[in-house]
Amino acid sequence: MLKVTVFNEYKHEREYENIAKVYPKGIHGCIAEFLQEEFEVRTATFDMPEHGLTKEVLQDTDVLIIWTHALQEEFSEEVAKRVQKHVLSGMGLIALHSAHYSKIMRLLMGTSMTLKWRHGDSEKLWCTSPTHPIAAGIPGMIELPKEEMYGEFFDIPKPDDVVFTGWFSGGEVFRSGCTFLRGYGKIFYFQPGHEEYPIYYNPHIQQIIKNAVRFCAPVVTERKCPENVQAVEK
Ligand code: ZN
């Protein structure tokens, strides 16, 4: 069974009543709950020692899912570099919503990762690569009646695939579901999931994340260790 670690800052849900109502167990708790049906899942949060992403945990993780927002700059450099190294050697990574700007993603992508944003919009999430494994069983368009607008230009390197493209009621479009390959590691960035709205309860969104776990899982049974990656560790 694939091993998944779900990391969430777990800050907004403890600070704001309206967000706690949407995610009483935290965003990580909600995601872990629907993934548990098919995967072996553990969770990690910002306040845990080493953010819960110790060498042992990462070594025992096939796919890491991250949700970050308010504590991007406070996130440990050392842990971010550790995660980067594990991705380069084969661990899958799924970065959700505002985790586009996580230290982990900035390290792996090498661009500014900036975008346009606005609160209180609605989104139509269009599937722009219907034969991609992450789109399996997903309709051509998903309506998200409430979602934060993320708009172009999104400063990312050219993705391998743009599986989903978001259209917002303000007229903006966004590359909402992008895949990247870094070293031996597969990465999926997925835009939906603003903390104020029940996005991660949407069955289609859940299916996309499950598909992404399978897609990003390491292909090799024993993770490859490229020379340069090993050198960083020593
Ligand atoms: Zn947001």
What does the pLDDT look like over 44-60, one tens digit per residue? Answer: 999 999 999 999 999 99
Question: What's the CA-to-centroid distance between 41 and ligand 1, angstroms?
Answer: 24
Q: What is the pLDDT of residue 219?
A: 86
Question: What's the CA-to-centroid distance between 148 and ligand 1, angstroms?
Answer: 6
Q: What is the pLDDT of residue 232?
A: 47
Question: What's the CA-to-centroid distance between 130 and ligand 1, angstroms?
Answer: 26
pLDDT greater than 70 at residue 25 = yes
Question: What's the CA-to-centroid distance between 37 and ligand 1, angstroms?
Answer: 27
Q: Which residue segments constitute the domains of the chain, with CATH numbers given?
A: 3-111+176-228 (3.40.50.880)
pLDDT greater than 90 at residue 42 = yes
For the chain, what percent of residues have pLDDT higher than 70? 94
Structure tokens at 174: 């966004």
Tell me the pairing of strands 92-96 and 173-182: unpaired
Over residues 114-142, the mean pLDDT reads: 98
Structure tokens at 42: 């553990």
Q: Which helix (H) or strand (E) is 6 found in, with range?
A: strand 3-8
Residues 6 or more apart whose Cβ sits within 8 Å of residue 25? 33
Question: What's the CA-to-centroid distance between 143 and ligand 1, angstroms?
Answer: 17
Question: What's the CA-to-centroid distance between 224 and ligand 1, angstroms?
Answer: 35
Question: What's the CA-to-centroid distance between 228 and ligand 1, angstroms?
Answer: 35
Q: What is the pLDDT of residue 224?
A: 60
Question: What's the CA-to-centroid distance between 98 and ligand 1, angstroms?
Answer: 6
Let me know: does 45 contact 26? Beta carbons within 8 Å.
yes
For the chain, what is the mean pLDDT? Answer: 95
Question: What's the CA-to-centroid distance between 195 and ligand 1, angstroms?
Answer: 6
- Residue 128's pLDDT band, with cuts at 50, 70 and 90, is very high
- Residue 234's pLDDT band, with cuts at 50, 70 and 90, is very low
CA dist list (Å): 23 to 11, 19, 30, 194? 11, 6, 7, 11
Question: What's the CA-to-centroid distance between 189 and ligand 1, angstroms?
Answer: 14
Question: What's the CA-to-centroid distance between 231 and ligand 1, angstroms?
Answer: 37
- Residue 231's pLDDT band, with cuts at 50, 70 and 90, is very low
Question: What's the CA-to-centroid distance between 225 and ligand 1, angstroms?
Answer: 35
Q: What is the pLDDT of residue 221?
A: 58
Question: What's the CA-to-centroid distance between 194 and ligand 1, angstroms?
Answer: 4
Q: What is the pLDDT of residue 220?
A: 67
pLDDT greater than 60 at residue 137 = yes
